[in-house]
Structure 1
């Protein structure tokens, strides 16, 4: 890939984002759309600057809540994924239960969590956990369960025990799956936190958006949405960078010969 192509690829997301915001602004101005229906990007920017302090406070709360739920999801998902992927019996027994649980809308759990733990941070953390642990479980279990039988036979013939195969081969092989699941799980964790904050919290971006929408302050609502989107993109890119640095051996280098 040439330097010009590389520069174009790196700048493409920024260019597309700028074009979308320009088109958005032109539509709002050209059709004279009122702010309480669809605020223009300039109105959202002005509202963000005006409410920078409360936005920062609520964004920090949402970020901390999301990271706590995500960390819990990673630990539980990793342990459960190892158990499910290491045993065919456990895999077949638990997989339908996991799929069924994941099919339940997590917003349905929020009232139950409020009854158990009250309104506040804990329901938001648990909602973020409930909505984000499934990708971790599935990817880790898949990485272990899809280990080639021929490779296992060769390792057993060399004297390796099942535990040796899982630790020395299965776990390294599942790392690309694991890091790929982290990128999905962190974005889902933000969804869980905001869902809970809109229903049962007095802090966080979700609460800020609900308060703003009740007074028809749509520029502030959209400012909250953009803040959530930016935090999600930053965390996604952080784990994508971690994935590239730790599992680069599992990915083909761009421009490499096929």
Structure 2
């Protein structure tokens, strides 16, 4: 893939259901030499793909808040929109997610789309970090993937599942990340990949490609999930 470049004067759209917040996020973009516009109202009939189609060809980059439903009906989250923008097949739209829920339960709905989100900026700490996040994203879309975002195959042990929550999840050990620390992994991709029901997952071993050099659990993503072959008895015992 040829390198993507966000030149001075490029057009960046800020998507946020709060008009004041949206305008606030335009300031570092304008200071960096970009042309910034905002979208704060949404057509409730549009899903993420249709919304992205409306942006196609109009903007060079996207900055989007995660929770967009505070002021009306929206059929998608910012995480879904950003992930799909970055993974557009013909011409990716470099996109950065902003969120005030980075360390809350809403992280679960971000985690579902994390593979397509190179950078998340904490909304509660407004700064020029959004410019750095755009550069980081553009580097990855151009093929310059950071160490923290490179994935390799690792075993995953399913400890438990929680289905009665906004975002069903599995409590797992990612061996290649931190073998002594459990993390929460989106449940739906596991069920879809293995064909197993949620109640049959605890105690099972999986394999998946995971970015095991990630610094925080919230940065982990999972792809190519499969059931692992039976492991030798006692292989984790000292």
TM-score, with structure 1 as normaliser: 0.23
Structure number with higher strand proportion: 2
TM-score, with structure 2 as normaliser: 0.24
Structure number with higher helix proportion: 1
Computing the radius of gyration over CA atoms, which structure comes out larger, 1 or 2? 1
| Higher RCO (CA < 8 A, seq sep 6+) | 1
